[in-house]
């Protein structure tokens, strides 16, 4: 199942892999702004002789065609950075752009996929099928995968595989469990309208601050009383805008939050509950409510056969002790849009190492990765493609 040529190639390219990651890290680009990154990927693929086409506005779809016809497996690596100020500026590869940083590991994903492509290109005459390479933009705003699918990224694909570097797992460990991995992520916005007025004359007003506060204090009972306790769900109010001045009773209030679920029935129930709570709370005080519920990503559900193949590949490539059982996260991943088109799986590769200070949470200004994990991810990409096409 494991191709020794691929393993040797990844080892030979390890220094280049680290250099690529550091270059991407120092030059971060935000979602749908990955112009330089896209150009670099295209130039790199040109040198490898791998055919590709750009997607709009950014992103690349490439394909390594094997010597014989067969199935097509897609490998995905995302490319965008975050609006986060880098705090660990002492590292030699620190971001050169103020307020922008690769604080989630997408620089690692792009680098690993490029080196995996280089290793696979070296054995393309032995491939009984094709490997599609998806260099995806805009994962951080949960739009890039959907845009790539709309532009034909998954046409003819039989299976899809993705990787995320994970600072909460020890370096080199690999987790890919069948079933739920990442949650569906939705956004809700609630606008309350009352009647403003002088702070000294509350009897003439309908205080939107009171309405909004009552909603925030009560809406969590949707989770505690309307949802099956065995169906994980999170409802978070992250933003609240009320009022304009200390002595003016607020006429308007805006509340924004997110809902995370793994189950569609649970998702439906929470959406319904938010509207009911908003309308009823507003009615109690004589206000009105307007609710906007935006469905974002689908849950990432690892298909059973694909996930078990990842486990088998990882065990054979790195030893059985590399396997790790990471619990599902309520974090979101737009890789789910690829899984809507073909079966597949999404693996986590550990990069947490306390000795290298790489256990910071994703999206933190001190986030960094143990670069020893890069080779693990690059080889897992390439060996999975090889194993899938040869099974």
Q: Which of 78, 107, 139, 207 is catalytic?
A: 139
| Residues written for the chain | 391
User: ∠ CA(377), CA(164), CA(29), 5° rounding?
Assistant: 105
Burial label, 43 (beta-carbon count in 10 A; 0-12, 13-18, 19+): exposed
| Of 350, 356, 379, nearest in space to 10 by CA | 379
CA angle (185, 187, 191) in 5-degree steps: 165
**Who's near 203: CB < 8 A, 6+ residues apart?**
none
What are the structure tokens assigned to 222, written together? 């949707």
The residue assigned the tokens 């330089």 is: 36
* Residue 257, beta-bridge partner list: 188, 237
Give the active site residue among 29, 34, 78, 80. Answer: 80
Burial letters for 254-283: b for 16+ Cβ neighbours within 10 Å, e otherwise?
ebbbbbbbbbeebbebbbebbbebbeebbe
Q: For residue 366, what are its two tokens?
A: 């001190």
- Going by C-alpha positions, the residue among 213, 387, 220, 198 that lies closest to residue 311 is 387
Distance CA 59, CA 67 (A): 26
C-alpha 101: how far from chain center? 16
Backbone angles phi, psi at 382, to 5 degrees: -70, -45
Q: Is 279 a catalytic residue?
A: no
DSSP E strand stretches across the chain:
51-54, 60-65, 71-78, 129-136, 159-170, 174-175, 179-182, 184-193, 197-198, 233-242, 248-249, 252-261, 288-297, 300-302, 344-352
Task: Look up tokens 């009383």; give the residue.
Answer: 225
Q: Look up 27 and say whether it is catalytic.
A: no
Q: Which residues are catalytic?
A: 80, 139
């Amino acid at each position: 199942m494991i191709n020794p040529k691929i393993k040797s190639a990844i080892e030979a390219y390890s220094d280049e892999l680290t250099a690529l990651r550091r270059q991407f890290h120092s030059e971060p680009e935000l979602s749908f702004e990955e112009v330089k990154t896209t150009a670099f990927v295209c130039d790199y693929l040109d040198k490898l002789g791998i055919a590709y086409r750009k997607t709009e506005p950014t992103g690349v779809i490439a394909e390594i065609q094997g010597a014989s016809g067969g199935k097509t497996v897609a490998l995905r690596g995302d490319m965008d950075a975050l609006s986060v100020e880098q705090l660990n500026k002492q590292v030699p590869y620190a971001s050169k752009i103020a307020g922008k940083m690769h604080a989630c590991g997408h620089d690692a994903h792009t680098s690993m996929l490029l080196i995996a492509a280089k290793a696979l290109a070296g054995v393309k005459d032995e491939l009984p099928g094709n490997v599609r390479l998806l260099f995806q933009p805009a994962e951080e705003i949960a739009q890039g995968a959907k845009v790539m699918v709309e532009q034909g990224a998954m046409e003819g694909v039989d299976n899809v595989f993705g990787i995320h570097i994970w600072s909460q797992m020890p370096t080199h460990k690999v987790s890919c469990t069948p079933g739920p991995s990442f949650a569906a992520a939705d956004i809700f916005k609630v606008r309350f309208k009352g009647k403003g007025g002088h702070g000294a004359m509350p009897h003439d007003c309908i205080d939107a601050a009171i309405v909004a506060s009552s909603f925030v204090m009560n809406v969590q009972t949707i989770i505690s009383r309307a949802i099956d306790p065995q169906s994980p769900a999170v409802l978070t109010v992250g933003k609240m805008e009320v009022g304009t001045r200390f002595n003016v009773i607020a006429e308007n209030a805006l509340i924004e939050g997110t809902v995370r679920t793994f189950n569609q029935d649970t998702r439906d129930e929470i959406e319904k509950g938010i509207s009911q709570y908003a309308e009823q709370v507003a009615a109690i005080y004589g206000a009105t409510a307007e609710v906007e519920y935006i469905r974002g990503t689908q849950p990432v559900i690892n298909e059973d056969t694909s996930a078990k193949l990842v486990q088998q590949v990882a065990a054979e490539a790195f030893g059985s002790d590399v396997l790790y059982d990471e619990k599902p996260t309520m974090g979101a991943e737009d890789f789910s849009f690829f899984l809507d088109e073909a079966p597949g799986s999404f693996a986590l590769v550990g990069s947490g190492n306390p000795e290298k200070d790489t256990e910071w949470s994703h999206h933190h200004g001190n986030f960094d990765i143990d670069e020893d994990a890069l080779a693990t991810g690059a080889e897992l990409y390439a060996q999975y493609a090889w194993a899938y096409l040869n099974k």
